A and B are shown apart, each in its own frame.
Chain A
Amino acid sequence: MFLSFSLSCSLFDLKEFSADREEESVELDKKVTSLRNNYLFIIGSFIVVAVLPIFLSKYHTILLVQALLYGMFAMSLDLIMGYAGIVSFGHGAFFGIGAYTLGLSLVKGGVSIWMALALVIIITSFYGYLVGYFSSRLKGIYFAILTLAFAEVVYRIVFYSDFTGGSDGLIGIPKLPLSIKGIFSISIDTPQRFCYFALTVVFLSYLILRKITSSPFGKVLEAIRENEERSGFLGFNVNQYKIISFIVSGCFAGLSGALYSFFMGFADAEQLHFMLHGKVVIMVLLGGMGTLVGPIIGGMFVTIFEIIMSHYTKSFMIIVGLTFIFVVIFMPEGIAGAIKKRFSKYFE
């Protein structure tokens, strides 16, 4: 009900949206900051999600974990999309690379979980550097297409090689306990336990990303988004900033993918497919760019919506697609933006 209300709100705002968006975006920025600093809201929602698994059935807990991890994935994209203002259309590659790195190192390498996660970070950073180095010079649509081309190459390599399991995917990823020999060992074999693990990781990554975006580094990224040329004149190495933000964003995306395959017990090429690239951009857009919390909500919403719809009809993609079309046309600021516009006075 709440959602439908916010939808109707945004319909009313449609005319204002198109009028002078330039001026409004500055005002909106202030409101965004006020929400971002709203500790109560964030801690409250953390507690809600933390309490939820106690009441949920096993099936719904699995759904919640998936939603959380996709939320984290969308949040990672928000760092470059919402702050640095560069839209990657191949971000799914990070998710898939993370998933496959963890899967391969656990199944074929037989390493510990910590080692596997470290490998995920190393490999996604390397890929991020490679792509960032070549694409950071390009702007707008050209950047988006180049990242898509890189992602497509990764997809093909994974899909057609035998080492990764090819089109069958990689199955049998063990759910190793989180342990350090002789000190502690926490098993995460049930969805409920994994849910807390995922929640902790998502919350920690949120805190880290928030720290990054409110640091001087994050402010430079915002400056680049607002005016790239001028930031260059001020002496900032724009390309370097872009590459670093791309790598950081990629690491978090890789981690979310790694946890996803760790949780599901398999990795398949679907996690690299180009549907995912577009979907994650829409998750960020739906939640609201440049808010970090918004994309988590957007990611969770899209994931849950999609899975629930898939129970009712086989052609759920039509409904999901129509919803996306609606969002792009009527809610360019996303759900968070629409709600904030309507209720901004309560947040100040």
Chain B
Amino acid sequence: MEYIAFVIIPQMLHGLVWGMAIVLTAIGLTVIFGLMGVVNFAHGELYMLGAFLGFFFIPVVNSFWISLVISFVIVGCIGLVIEKFTLKPLYGRNPIYALLLTFALSMVLQESARLIWGGGTYRVIPPIMGSVNFLGLIYPKYRLFILLFSAILMFCLYIFFMKTEAGATVRATSQDSQMLSSLGVNVPRVFSLTFAAGSALAAISGLVMAPVFSVYYRMGTDCIIRAFIVVIIGGFGSIKGAVFVGLVIGLIESLSSLWITPTQAETLVFVILIIMLIVRPKGIFSR
């Protein structure tokens, strides 16, 4: 009983937080793929940039929340520029080209971050300090806040996609962009804005997670592969799948690391991916 209360439950909460980090990046990735057919390798770097920009602006504006907004806006603009100048010429070609392009982009962004902020590891102080004591179980408040924040964010996304006209347009465009174009919808603009929004979402996730996982220039690479796995297993383009699989992967990884080493737990995730790809190549929630 004590084992459950003091080992399993905190570990499950860790797993959920880690799962949320993956889910928040994976959502942007899966929406971008579902809409434009682009597998965005640079998404992890946008996550990293969000964290670094926040780290940079927190001492300047003296507030975590304002710098969250700033990095949201800046990374959104970077996403817009990337889409306009590099991805646009590739539409209509084999998706492998987009994969290669974003791969090269991630090289550039990662190296630029190293150039600007160096190769060190930085800590961001959580904006909410203290911890909750619940039946003898002590858990940091900020991590609980992350769970709440992510849940609210996902609920907002759900409302956006299911209840608003803009969301319906995005969904319709991913179904049949030609039809939408002939109905008078500005499809290139839908593409640009979705890519920018996905990038900005990655930035938010990067900064919100920064106090838990530290900030370093390779953090994007560490996150992106996990996010990819989630997107693939969940079914390319499926938000529901990304949320479900992301949380499950986070839980599996943190719970299994009670018995095996964390690196083995990481490898386990890849083995699960391979098995899933062989059994259900199009993912669980594929359309």
Contact = CB atoms under 8 A, between A and B. Distances in A.
Given A317-B108, A321-B108, A149 B270 contact: yes
Interface string A145-180: 110011011001100100000000000000000000
A315 B39 contact: no
Contacts of B164: none
A328 B104 contact: yes
Given A145-B232, A152-B225, A140 B96 contact: yes
B115 A318 contact: yes
Contacts of A144: 96, 99
Interface in B234-287: 263-264, 266-267, 270-271, 273-274, 277-278, 281-282
Specify which of B94, B263, B267, B277 lies most central, judged by the most chain A CB atoms within 10 Å of its CB.
B277
A153 B92 CA distance: 33
Contact of A318 (B99, B108, B267): B108
Nearest to B41: A278
A183 interface: no
A150 B274 contact: yes
B128 to A, nearest CB: 35
Nearest to B87: A329
Contact of B274 (A142, A146, A285): A146
B89 interface: yes
A317 B101 contact: no
B234 to A, nearest CB: 13
Given A318-B108, A321-B111, A328 B97 contact: yes
Contacts of A160: 263-264, 267
A325 B86 contact: yes
Interface in A321-339: 321-322, 324-325, 328-329, 332
Contacts of B270: 149, 152-153, 156
Interface residues of B, number: 40
Query: Chain A interface mostly helix, strand, loop or mixed?
Result: helix
Q: Which size bracket describes the interface of A in this complex? A: 35 or more
A153 B95 CA distance: 24
Contacts of B114: 315
Given A149-B274, A153-B270, A329-B89, A285 B263 contact: no
A282 interface: yes
B281 A138 contact: yes
Given A134-B278, A150-B274, A325 B266 contact: no
A51 B228 CA distance: 47
Given A315-B111, A318-B112, A324-B104, A149 B96 contact: no
B252 to A, nearest CB: 16
Nearest to B266: A156
Interface in B96-134: 96-97, 99-101, 103-105, 107-108, 110-112, 114-115
A325 B115 contact: no
A325 B89 contact: no
Nearest to A159: B263
Contacts of A140: 94-96
A325 B108 contact: yes
A272 interface: no
B108 A156 contact: no
A167 B99 CA distance: 28
A277 B86 CA distance: 21
B86 A329 contact: yes
Contacts of A89: 99
A164 B107 CA distance: 28
A315 B115 contact: yes
B267 A282 contact: no
Nearest to B229: A149
A282 B104 contact: yes
Contacts of A275: 107
Interface of B: 39, 41, 86, 89-90, 92-97, 99-101, 103-105, 107-108, 110-112, 114-115, 225, 228-229, 232, 263-264, 266-267, 270-271, 273-274, 277-278, 281-282
Given A156-B267, A317-B107, A325-B86, 16 more contacts: A18-B89, A141-B96, A141-B99, A142-B232, A142-B281, A145-B39, A149-B274, A150-B274, A152-B270, A153-B274, A160-B263, A278-B41, A318-B107, A318-B112, A324-B107, A328-B104
